[in-house]
């Protein structure tokens, strides 16, 4: 029976054979071809059926979510850049997707970001049938009440990834009020599938960068009260 380990070895041999014919193909592309040869739609789908154990959750991060017991959390090397690590959340093998989500997250003190505009950005990738993955960021006051929040779920464009999607850039921009005590952020998976996150960054930006949350960027007056649009 073919295993994930042998499938990776086949991709390595395929790349070497193509190189002998002066055909330059990346390791990731060879993985995709091997997956198709085994009858899978893509490598992420094969990886979901024959998963390698994930490496431990990266330092500084922790798992959470109202359905976290249904998911596995950790990291794995990027097939195209082996010295680069990807954060990963995936539905446990043999588990049926339920309502709820699992997230990898951090919580930091807000004091260095008070009265500033903060951008959280990352690359996301998803292999799923009925799931979705997204970034999220929330600022809480000392009473653990949310004072700023966005998870991209309500966006008409550039929002949560659904189904199967290759690497895409996503970002959240929030104004952090002086009343904030902590900032929590991360990415989550709801439903089935495998979600990867890479190149996350959190930085203070100028007011020329628009906030991404509708609650922080209200309309000037009521709109579409007839629900016709």
Per-residue pLDDT of 1-37, as tens digits, reads: 457 778 888 999 999 999 999 999 999 999 999 999 9
Maximum average pLDDT range among 43-47, 88-92, 121-125: 121-125
Q: pTM of the full predicted structure?
A: 0.76
Percent of the chain residues topping a pLDDT of 70: 90
What distance in Å separates the CA atoms of residue 126 and residue 163, rounded to the nearest whole number?
7
Q: For the chain, what is the mean pLDDT? A: 90
Residue closest to 182 by CA, chosen among 117, 118, 116, 107? 107
Note whether 124 and 134 are within 8 A (CB): yes
Give the DSSP letter string of 131-161: -EEEEEEEEE-TTS-EEEEE-STT-SSS--E
What distance in Å separates the CA atoms of residue 103 and residue 64, rounded to the nearest whole number?
5
Q: Which helix (H) or strand (E) holds 30?
A: helix 27-37
Output 142-149 pairs: Cβ under 8 A, ≥24 positions apart.
142/181, 147/177, 147/179, 147/180, 148/174, 148/175, 148/176, 148/177, 148/180, 148/213, 148/216, 149/174, 149/213, 149/215
Q: What is the pLDDT of residues 118-130, one digit of tens each?
A: 999 999 999 888 8
Q: Which residues contact 13 (CB under 8 A, 6 or more apart)?
A: none
Note whether 169 and 121 are within 8 A (CB): yes
Note whether 100 and 131 are within 8 A (CB): no
Judged against a pLDDT cut of 70, whether residue 176 lies above it is answered with yes
Lowest mean pLDDT among 87-91, 124-128, 215-219: 215-219
What distance in Å separates the CA atoms of residue 79 and residue 85, rounded to the nearest whole number?
9
Mean pLDDT along residues 144-154:
95
């Amino acid at each position: 029976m073919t295993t994930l380990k042998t499938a990776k070895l086949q991709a390595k041999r395929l790349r070497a054979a193509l190189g002998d014919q002066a055909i330059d193909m990346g390791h990731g592309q060879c993985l995709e071809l091997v997956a198709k040869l085994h009858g899978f739609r893509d490598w992420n789908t094969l990886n979901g059926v024959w998963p390698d154990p994930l490496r431990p959750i990266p330092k500084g991060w922790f798992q959470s979510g109202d359905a976290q017991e249904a998911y596995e959390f950790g990291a794995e090397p990027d097939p195209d850049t082996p010295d680069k690590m990807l954060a990963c959340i995936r539905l446990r093998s043999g588990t049926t997707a339920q309502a709820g989500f699992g997230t990898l997250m951090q919580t930091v003190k807000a004091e260095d970001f008070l009265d500033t505009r903060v951008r959280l950005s990352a690359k996301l990738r998803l292999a799923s049938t009925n799931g979705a993955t997204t970034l999220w960021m929330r600022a809480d006051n000392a009473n653990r009440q949310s004072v700023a929040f966005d998870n991209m779920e309500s966006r008409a464009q550039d929002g949560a990834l659904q189904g199967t999607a290759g690497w895409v850039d996503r970002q959240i921009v929030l104004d952090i009020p002086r009343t904030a005590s902590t900032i929590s952020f991360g990415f989550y998976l709801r439903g089935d599938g495998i979600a990867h996150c890479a190149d996350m960054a959190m930085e203070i930006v100028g007011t020329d960068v628009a906030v991404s949350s509708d609650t922080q960027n209200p309309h000037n007056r009521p709109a579409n009260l007839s629900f016709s649009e």
